[in-house]
Chains A and B, each alone.
Chain A
Amino acid sequence: MNGVDASNIAIDVKGLTKSFGGREVVHDLSMQVRRGSIYGFLGPNGSGKTTTIRMLCGLLTPDGGEGTCLGYDIRRDAERIKRHVGYMTQRFSLYQDLSVRENLEFVARVYGVPDPRGAAREMIRRLGLSGREDQLAGELSGGWKQRLALGACTLPNPQLLLLDEPTAGVDPKARRDFWNEIHALAADGLTVLVSTHYMDEAERCHEIAYIAYGYLLTHGTVDEVIAKSALTTYTVTGEDLGALGNELAGKPGVDMVAPFGTSLHVSGRDTAALEAAIAPWRDRPSLRWEHSHPSLEDVFIELMSRSRDNFQ
Chain B
Amino acid sequence: MSIVRAVDENQPDREPRFGFWRRAYAMVVKEFIQLRRDRVSFGMIVMIPVMQLLLFGFAINTTPRHMPTAVLLQEESDLARSVLKALENTAYFRFTREVHDVEEFDDLLMSGKVLFGVEIPRGFERAVRRGERPALLVAADATDPVAAGAALGSLGTLVQTALAHDLFAGDPPALPFEIRAHARYNPAASSRLNIVPGLVGTILTMTMLIFTALSVTREVERGTMESLLSMPIRPVEVMFGKIIPYVLVGFIQAFLILSIGVLMFGVPVLGSLVMLALLSTLFITTNLSIGYTFSTLAQNQLQAMQLSIMFFLPSILLSGFMFPFSGMPVWAQYIGEGLPLTHYLRIVRAIMLKGATLQNLEYDAIALAALMMLAMTIAVTRFRRTLD
Chain A interface residues (CB < 8 Å from chain B) = 54, 57-61, 78-79, 82-83, 85, 87, 89, 91-96, 107, 110-111
B180 to chain A, nearest CB (A): 64
Across-interface contacts of B7 in A (CB, < 8 A): none
For chain B, residues 201 to 249, give those with C-beta under 8 angstroms from any C-beta of chain A.
Answer: 222-227, 229-234
Residue in contact with A93 in the complex, picked from B227, B233, B388, CB distance below 8 Å? B227
Q: A82-B232, A111-B232 given as contacts; is B227 within 8 A of A61 (CB)?
A: no
A54 pairs with B387, CB closer than 8 A: yes
Q: CB distance A60 to B388 under 8 Å?
A: yes
Binary CB contact string for chain B from 348 to 388 against chain A (1 if under 8 A, 0 otherwise): 00000000000000000000000000000000000001111
Bound: A78/B234 CA distance, A: 11
Tell me the bound Cα distance from A94 to B227 in angstroms: 7
- Docked-complex contact A59 and B223, CB < 8 angstroms: no
In the assembled complex, the Cα of A54 lies from the Cα of B225 at a distance in Å of 13
Given contacts A58-B386, A93-B223, are A110 and B230 in contact (CB under 8 A)?
A: no
- Chain A nearest CB, measured from B166 CB (Å): 75
In the assembled complex, the CB of A70 is this many whole angstroms from the nearest CB of chain B, namely 13
A95 touches B230 (CB 8 A): no
For the complex formed, measure the closest distance between the CB of B244 and the CB atoms of chain A, giving whole angstroms: 14
Complex Cα distance, B233 from A290, in Å, reads 58
Residues of A within 8 A of B229 (CB): 59
**Chain A residues with CB under 8 A of B385:** 78
- Evaluate contact between B222 and A96: CB separation under 8 angstroms: yes
Contact A111 B231 (CB under 8 A): yes
Q: How far is the CA of A197 from the CA of B178 in the complex (A)?
A: 94
Contact B231 A59, beta carbon cutoff 8 Å: no
Q: Are B226 and A89 in touch, CB under 8 angstroms?
A: yes
Label chain A's interface by main secondary structure: loop
The smallest C-beta distance from B359 to any residue of chain A, in angstroms, reads: 42
Contacts of A91 in B (CB 8 A): 223, 226
B-side contacts of A107, CB under 8 Å: 231
Residues of B within 8 A of A78 (CB): 385-386
Contacting residues, chain B, for A93 (C-beta < 8 A): 223-227
A91 to B220, CA, bound (A): 12
Bound form: Cα–Cα A57–B226 in Å: 11
Across-interface contacts of A94 in B (CB, < 8 A) = 224, 227
Distance between Cα atoms of A54 and B230 in the complex (Å): 9
The docked-state distance in angstroms from the alpha carbon of A96 to that of B219 is: 11
Chain B min CB distance to A247 (Å): 18
B230: contacting residue among A59, A61, A92, CB under 8 A: A59
CB distance from B204 to the nearest CB of A (A): 26
Give residues 236-271 of B contacting A (CB, 8 Å).
Answer: none
A89–B229 Cα distance when bound, in Å, is 11
A111 to B232 alpha-carbon distance, docked (Å): 6
Taking CB atoms, residues of chain B closer than 8 Å to A58 are 230, 386
When chains A and B are docked, how far (Å) is the Cα of A82 from the Cα of B224?
16
